[in-house]
Amino acid sequence: MHEFPWSEGSATGVGSYPGEDPAEALQVVIGELPDLPHLPELPARGPGADMIARTAGLLVDLAVSLQPSGWRFADHPGGDTSRTHGYLAQDLDTLEELGADVEGPVKIQVAGPWTLAASIEMRSGERALADPGAVRDLTASLAEGVAAHVRDVRRRLPRATVLLQLDEPSLPGVLDGSVPTASGFSRIRSVEAPHAEERLRHVIETAGAFPIVHCCARRVPYALLRSAGAKAISADASLIRDEDAIGEAVEAGTGFLMGVVPGRGTRLPAPAKSVAPVRELWHRLGLSPRSLAASVVLTPSCGLSGATPAYARGALRHCREAGRILRDSAED
């Protein structure tokens, strides 16, 4: 049986959460997800709190500014960067205060190098993804900044184990050449898998934390993520098509964060119903219930920023209760 930094039947969140109060959000997260809390992101606070800006604020010796078309590299940091740093500092101070007693795993999230490159514009207005040199510099800067971020979280929570989630929703499009140019009239040339793997591996190895890669697309490149060093993969269970790739990954010791609850809605199903598709998948693959409880963490299918606070809290509680079902079934 492979060992993971979480306990059997754990649950966590993907990242984003509704509202603007970090203390309120983190209290809910720690209360509902005691075995594996995460640092929630609150994009409702406005520009600078979104995933791209939050990660761009970690870059070393690369500045960005907010333009009408989105985030763009700039000559020097400005007010947008100061706002981004302020939001993150507030979140980390809150985490240090409310998470002081946390001794187990804690998850933090940043955008991965390919999603960042597909989102930030160069000074010319084109996406950084279109320029291999820009991608190289961006990756090096990101790796250094994320490593410093991990060290900061460890300093603030010395008894916790830091899990780092790299969000790569754009990676499948990067690989198949479907990311549009800035004009929208063309597509940026596809990136070869070995090159994509190399850049992702650099960030993972430099960061020095337990690495998770989140990709909520239909075509998750499981083999590439594993080769790049991901020890766990976060995916939407309802979008899984390549079941054999899941089986190979589990047998090789890869963990999974399985999204089993919609990111928004009005009503939640019974926890047993949410768990059923994952249990059926394990059965089809011939994997044991014990490996399911040990290797799988249950999550919402995506971030919760678009949900109501009541639904978001209920979704986290739902995932925790569903995780207990997995744990109890493994003990039967």
Q: Does 2 have pLDDT greater than 80? A: no
Residue 4 lies in a domain: no
Give the mean model confidence (pLDDT) for residues 185-204.
Answer: 96
**Which pLDDT score is estimated for 332?**
57
Cα–Cα distance between 71 and 110 in angstroms, integer? Answer: 16
Name the band, by pLDDT with cuts 50, 70 and 90, for residue 232: very high
Name the band, by pLDDT with cuts 50, 70 and 90, for residue 92: very high
Residue 6 lies in a domain: no
Give the mean model confidence (pLDDT) for residues 320-328.
Answer: 92
Q: Which residue has the higher pLDDT, 290 or 117?
A: 117
Q: Could you tell me where the DSSP H helices lie in the chain?
A: 22-32, 51-56, 79-98, 113-117, 132-156, 171-176, 193-207, 222-227, 243-251, 271-285, 289-295, 309-331
Tokens of 117: 């490159």
Q: Residue 276 sits in a domain of what CATH number?
A: 3.20.20.210
Cα–Cα distance between 140 and 199 in angstroms, integer? Answer: 9
Number of domains in the chain: 1
Q: Does 98 have pLDDT greater than 90? A: yes
Residue 14 lies in a domain: no
Tens-place pLDDT, residues 28-70: 999 999 999 999 999 999 989 999 999 999 999 999 998 888 8
Tokens of 284: 């089809």
**Which pLDDT score is estimated for 331?**
64
178 three-state secondary structure: coil
**Which pLDDT score is estimated for 225?**
98
> Per DSSP, what are the bridge partners of residue 213?
166, 233
Residue 16 lies in a domain: no
Residue 8 lies in a domain: no
- H or E stretch at 298: strand 296-300
Taking the CA atoms of 213, 68, 174 and 144 in sequence, report the sign of the dihedral they define: negative
Residue 11 lies in a domain: no
* Domain containing residue 54: 22-331
DSSP state of 215: -
Residue 303 lies in a domain: yes
Long-range contacts of residues 215-218, Cβ cutoff 8 Å, at least 24 apart: 215/168, 215/169, 215/171, 215/172, 216/14, 216/169, 216/259, 216/301, 216/302, 217/169, 217/171, 217/172, 217/173, 218/172
Contact 271, 249 (CB under 8 A): no
Residue 7 lies in a domain: no
Name the band, by pLDDT with cuts 50, 70 and 90, for residue 116: very high
Q: What pTM, to 2 d.p., does this model score?
A: 0.96
